[in-house]
Structure formats: structure tokens, C-alpha cells
Amino acid sequence: MRILVTGGAGYVGSVTVERLLAAGHGVIVVDDLSTGHRAAVPPEATYVDLRYGDVHAMTRAFVEERVDAVLHCGAKSIVPESVADPALYYHENVIGGIGLLDAMVAAGVRRLVLSSTAAVYGLPDIVPIPEDAPLRPINPYGATKASLESAIRWYGVAYGIRSVRLRYFNVAGASDRNGEMHDPESHLIPLVLAALEGGRPVTIFGDDYPTPDGTCIRDYIHVLDLADAHLAALEATAPEDARTGPPDGSEPVALNLGTSDGYSVRAVLAAAERVTGTPVPHRVGPRRAGDPPVLVADARLAGAVLGWRAMRTDLDAIVGSAWEWRRRHPDGYRV
């Protein structure tokens, strides 16, 4: 297959690109490098400096590169930024996303996998969260992803785009080549590792939650497991593959990607201390608004549909791979 990956210079995208190349697929990365890194794109992939919402340029790229399927990883994805600037999130994630869909329709590309997020669920009634839980996002980031999911569903019904929407929980870890390097960083594990490298102490937002150690529990999924799931999902969008519904794209699939298990904030700090042998500088602050005590995926459907499950679930190994990557790339992607 020839697969166009939007956001392929970002964290999840770049590791997935490695996996797709290793499986023998041709890869075209479209990325505007707004939060990604040119050096994260492996030389075996074709890189195109484009905004994925540019309908005309994307239509041309689909045709010229003879694209069979799209993995849409590109997005703005920082929750506090989305609250401060919802316009940016609606323009990029929704309007840009519709532009990408329009270009797919124009060029006759009918296979799509979307990087969606657990943020579409908001504050869940049931944990582990099943895919049929109501979508009640509590921030513009989650709302824009839910909007794009909904558009994809109707584009499937009307224009025959066969899709899988993958709702990730907390992605972590690294491949040998690529790791997590965001600026600003908002994810716990890189913040913990940065604190160990002499950066700002970590703040634990609340230690009085109804959990065993009082801190919030989240579902951490290794980025290599996520990459495996993307490969399986892309292959499952083949028209003759009944796993993604009827050939006309009228019943798209949404799948949670997590481990169905969770680790607390304090457990992450303890793992980092075991891995590095150094205490993590930290302080305890007040709870953050909208932080549920436990957010864990019910990931059984991904197992049933794709035959996939997370294999790299040991927290020390996840944190260890992130630490190892940072140790080998002390300047991140700067050369």
C-alpha cells in the first residue's frame, strides 16, 4: 500500500511511519512542522511540506503519489491551549480535517485511519470506558476530535470512505529512533523525565482522589503498541475486509487503544525513580478542574476487530524506553 501519513513528523506519526515502512508499505509524510520535527521522518519516507487542510495541494499529492490510504495523525492536541484558543483548534482540527476529507473524495482515496483521543468521552460514567460511551468532551480539543469523527462517519455513508477511528489513551515510550519531544510539554512521563534532568519539579495535581494512593490513574500505552494497531487498522480498511463494515463505508469503526489497566501519577514517579535511580523532584498541588480520578480504556473491541492488544504494558519498560531515548538524544531533534 502507499500510505499518506499526516503529522508523520510528530511523536505518534513518526513511530508509526517506521512501523509502516518495516511492514513494506510506501509512506508519504505530510507535515507542516508546526509541532513536529523534520529529523523524525525516516529517509525511506517521502516528505512533503504541506498543510493537510489545503484541499487543492492535497488532492494533487494524493494523485501524484498514487495514495491508497490515509493515516491522519496531524492535529493540534494540547488541552490548555485549546481552552485558551478554541478558534485555532476548530480551524486546524475541524476545518483542516474537512479539507483533508474533501481532497480524499476528489482524488478517489477511500481508506482512512484517524488518530482520535479518549478526550472525546469527557467525564465517563463507566470505567473502563467502552466505545459506545456517550461522547461528552469537556474541552475544545476533545470537542474538535469528536466533530471530525462525526464528519468522517457521514463522509463514509455518502462518499464511501472506509475508516477506523482510533481513540488513544495516554501514549508513552519511544522507538529506538523516535521519541516524545513537545514544546510546551503537557504529558506526565516526559515532564517527569525533564524534572530528573534538572528541569522544573513535577506537580502532582491532587493527592486526595478516591484511588489507592490518592493520585489520578491513567491508561499508558506504549507508542510501539500503538504503531502496531495503526498498521492493523490500515490493513483492515481494505474494501473486501468485513472487519471495517460493508464495502461502502457506511458503518465505520471506532476503537479504543489502551491497555485496559492503569497506573497512578505516584506509580509513574516511582517507576522513573527505579529506572533512573534518582528521586523525582516534585510537589503536590491542588486538583485540576475536569480531571477524573480514573481514565482507563475498555480495549476489548480492538482485540476482537483487529486481533490487536497492547504487549508492552510494564510501566518500568515504558518509562525506561522514554528515558533511554532522551539519554541518547540529549538535544532532542536539534542537530
Ligand X SMILES: NC(=O)c1ccc[n+]([C@@H]2O[C@H](COP(=O)([O-])OP(=O)(O)OC[C@H]3O[C@@H](n4cnc5c(N)ncnc54)[C@H](O)[C@@H]3O)[C@@H](O)[C@H]2O)c1
| Residues with a known catalytic role | 141
Residue from 3, 4, 5, 6 binding ligand X (CB under 6 A): 6
- The pairs formed by 133-138 with CB atoms below 8 angstroms and a separation of 24 or more are 138/290
Under 8 Å CB-to-CB from 64, ≥6 apart: which residues?
Answer: none
Residue 13 or residue 122: which is nearer to ligand X going by CB?
Answer: 13
- The stretch among 164-172, 211-219, 307-315, 321-329 that binds ligand X (CB under 6 A) is 164-172
Does residue 244 bind ligand X (CB under 6 A)? no
> Considering only residues 47, 89, 121, 168, which one is a binding residue for ligand X as defined by CB under 6 A?
168
The gap from C-alpha 83 to its chain's centroid, in whole angstroms, comes to 19
| CA atoms of 31 and 14, how far apart (whole Å) | 11
Closest Cα partner for 250 from 316, 312, 159?
159
Q: Is 35 in the site for ligand X (CB under 6 A)?
A: yes
Judging by beta carbons within 10 Å of its beta carbon (0-12, 13-18, 19+), is residue 83 exposed, middle or buried? middle
Q: Are strands 69-72 and 202-205 parallel, antiparallel or unpaired?
A: unpaired
- The three-class DSSP label of residue 196 is helix
First to last CA, the chain: 32
CB of 181 to ligand X, least distance (A): 8
Among 3, 11, 152, 245, binds ligand X (CB under 6 A): 11
Please state whether 7 falls in left (phi above 0), alpha (psi between -120 and 50) or beta: left
Handedness of CA 37, 79, 296, 138 (dihedral sign): negative
Residue closer to ligand X by CB (options 223, 275) is 223
Contact 207, 213 (CB under 8 A): yes
Order of strands, sheet of 294-295, starting from the edge strand that comes earlier in the sequence: 263-264, 217-218, 294-295
CB contact at 8 A, 139 and 81 = no
12 binds ligand X (CB under 6 A): yes
Query: Binding segment for ligand X among 4-12, 199-207, 292-300, 311-319 (CB under 6 A)?
Result: 4-12
Q: Does 170 bind ligand X (CB under 6 A)?
A: yes
Please tell me whether residue 75 adopts helix, strand or coil conformation. coil
Question: Where does this chain touch ligand X (CB under 6 A) — which range of 29-37, 231-239, 295-303, 323-331?
Answer: 29-37
Least Å distance, CB 204 to ligand X, is: 19
**Stretch 48-87 residues interacting with ligand X (CB under 6 A):** 51-53, 73-75, 77
| CB closer to ligand X out of 96 and 124 | 96
Using CB under 6 A as the binding criterion, the count of chain residues that bind ligand X stands at: 30
* Contact predicate 117/166, CB 8 Å: no
Task: Using the minimum distance from each CB to ligand X, give the nearer residue, 77 or 237.
Answer: 77
Q: Among residues 3, 4, 5, 9, which is the contact residue for ligand X, using CB under 6 A?
A: 9
Which residue among 18, 32, 65, 149 contacts ligand X (CB under 6 A)? 32
Using rule CB under 6 A, residue 320 touches ligand X: no
Farthest CA pair distance, the chain: 56
Span of 1-9, 63-71, 199-207, 307-315 interacting with ligand X by CB under 6 A = 1-9
Distance separating alpha carbons of residues 302 and 235, to the nearest angstrom:
14
Binding mask 111-140 for ligand X (x = CB under 6 A): ----x-x-----------------------
Integer angstrom CA distances of residue 265 from 157, 237, 322? 42, 36, 16
Rule CB under 6 A: choose which of 13, 179, 206, 252 binds ligand X: 13
- Please pick, from the candidates 55, 62, 79, 96, the single residue that binds ligand X as defined by CB under 6 A: 96
Of these, 3, 20, 36, 224, which contacts ligand X (CB under 6 A)? 36
Residues that bind ligand X (CB under 6 A): 6-7, 9-13, 30-36, 51-53, 73-75, 77, 92, 96, 115, 117, 168, 170-171, 182, 187
